[in-house]
Amino acid sequence: MRSIRGVGDMKDLVFDNRFVRDLPADPEPGGHVRQVHGACYSRVMPTPVRMPQLLAWSPEVAALLGLTEADVRAPDFAEVFGGNALLPGMEPYAACYGGHQFGNWAGQLGDGRAITLGEAINDRGERWELQLKGAGPTPYSRRADGRAVLRSSIREFLCSEAMHHLGVPTTRALCLVGTGEQVIRDMFYDGNPRPEPGAVVCRVSPSFIRFGNFEIFASRGEEELLGRLIDFTIARDFPEIEGDSADKRIRWFDEVCRRTAVLMAHWTRVGFVHGVMNTDNMSILGLTIDYGPYGWIDNFDPDWTPNTTDAGGRRYRFGQQPQVAHWNLWQLANAIYPAIGAVEPLEAALHRYVDMHEAESRRMMTAKLGLAQWQEGDSALLGDLYRLLHEGEMDMTIFYRRLADLDARLDDRPDDAALAPFADAFYRDDRRAAVQDELAGWLRRYGARLRQQEMPQAQRRAAMNRVNPLYVPRNYLAQQAIDAAEQGDPSRVAELLDVFRLPYDEQAGRERFAAKRPDWARHKAGCSMLSCSS
């Protein structure tokens, strides 16, 4: 692995790699697969690729790091973020962690294809970990090759940035680099593997520590290392938490519960379904992390999951995500109990998660419905809406956006006039016919509720449009960009990134990106459900 001095401002990137400096490393060298004990990470170099080529990049994330467009366009940039070269100060490693997958303890997992290059400190003193996903094998790769395909890399790149602009806590993405190599994947797990273009995404986050980092040490009885990792995480990633060691640890877990509750409410607000909410995919910072077979709710369905692996049990379905997060927090509480030594404060924080999630959900739904404040009867109003959206097979994003335009004075208008603004939110005419009378009645109830508050319609509309997005990264849009990129045209990735940069604003000439899922995409691979193959 060669080292380069960098060009432009790349040479000025400053690294302060506290994770590798303050925590114990795997003493065994090399990337061969093994069980790693008594260590938080293994030092491992990215595996160089044949022909790294920059396919897309985020100007906002580059700016966070102090990088200019000239830096990004320079040939050395793709060399570094494709895994072929290092900048001074980078100390690559793969983290050791475990996790519960689909409700069962899976043992050691770890960064099987993600390699952190280092922790960059920007000119505002902010810490950003730079991590390459698809950078080659590590000691945690098990039977895999450590690589990633272009289709999944595009999805991660786009959604990371789209979620940020939607206001949802998330890891970020600096760039997408094509490798010039083919990766063999069995996309449908049906015994028909095929070669696909490879790619590497540079993910960016203040921390990539997840619930599973603590679970692995608890499962092995490595209690000293467990406590050490907890204290490190608090000191580096939660510096606002003060007090003695025991008090800080309890307050830290309470804060993790709070952030997770907020995150789950945001996912519901925008219609995001993670697809693989295993404990190793849960960020300790309350960020959306590890974009695999995720999906976006088109027709509103609380029971929908985008993950083919989850199609039978639907454990990670849209409407179940807050409960799964609670279960995952229980597993984290079990893991850190040896370092806390008391059950009561952990249980209290877990109970507060429920209250915090309810409060955040109510706050966000109050805003989505354009209400000044929540009052008695609004829960029933919202529950009836959810049922009608489901039974009517209506597009969630389009419905809420149209709701902002509703005139609250509906009593003197026929049902057809009341329903007209929502005509393009239905996916099936028969489902529309089945609910239209009841939906018209609901709209009148809603209009009456709006008339109870002193808020001008223009003010309500503007407020609702700040929380109800017009553009979301629907699966079919991402798949269209993937299809073009696999044919050598990455321009649609950049176009979508630009659209998602302003998800709440009307963008002239881009109306097609706000349209509901077309019929041809209902069951098309990549446009409806996806596999974990990436």
Pairing of strands 272-273, 295-296: antiparallel
Whole-number pLDDT of residue 526: 82
Over pLDDT 90: what percentage of the chain?
Answer: 88
Mean pLDDT (whole number) for 477-490 = 96
- Per DSSP, the chain holds a count of helices (H) and strands (E) of 17, 14
Is the pLDDT at 444 greater than 80, yes or no?
yes
Q: Which amino acid is at 305?
A: T
pLDDT tens string 301-353? 999 999 988 989 999 999 999 999 999 999 999 999 999 999 999 999 999 99
Please check whether residue 352 is in contact with residue 258, taking contact to mean a CB–CB distance below 8 angstroms. yes
Is the pLDDT at 4 greater than 80, yes or no?
no
Strand spans (E) along 141-238? 172-185, 194-205
Provide CB contacts within 8 A for 384, sequence distance 6+: 442
Please check whether residue 450 is in contact with residue 378, taking contact to mean a CB–CB distance below 8 angstroms. no
DSSP string computed for 358-376 = HHHHHHHHHHHTT-SS--T
- Opening angle at CA 286, ends 87 and 533, nearest 5: 70
Whole-number pLDDT of residue 350: 98
Whole-number pLDDT of residue 3: 72
Q: Tell which residue, 357, 335, 359, 361, has the closest CA to residue 346.
A: 335
Q: Could you tell me the two tokens for 252? A: 């830290």
Q: Tell which residue, 98, 100, 95, has the closest CA to residue 108.
A: 98
Global pTM value: 0.96
Mean pLDDT (whole number) for 14-30 = 96
Whole-number pLDDT of residue 534: 55
Residue 122 CB-density burial (10 A; 0-12 exposed, 13-18 middle, 19+ buried): middle
Whether 22 is a known active-site residue: answer: no
As a three-state string, the secondary structure of 252-317 is HHHHHHHHHHHHHHHHHHHCEECCCCCHHHCECCCCECCCCCCEECCECCCCCCCEHHHCCCCCCC
Residue with tokens 């990129």: 485
Q: Between 107 and 310, name the one with better pLDDT.
A: 107
Q: Could you tell me the two tokens for 191? A: 């015994």
Residues shown for the chain: 534
Is the pLDDT at 411 greater than 70, yes or no?
no
- Opening angle at CA 271, ends 267 and 273, nearest 5: 70
pLDDT tens string 260-309? 999 999 999 999 999 999 999 999 999 999 999 999 999 999 999 999 88
Mean pLDDT (whole number) for 184-195 = 82
Is the pLDDT at 394 greater than 60, yes or no?
yes
Give 2's strand partners: 85
CA distance 277 to 263: 13
DSSP element (H, E) containing 54:
strand 53-57
CA distance 383 to 388: 9
Q: Between 234 and 408, name the one with better pLDDT.
A: 234
Of the residues 26, 280, 298, 395, only one is catalytic, namely 280
Whole-number pLDDT of residue 523: 84
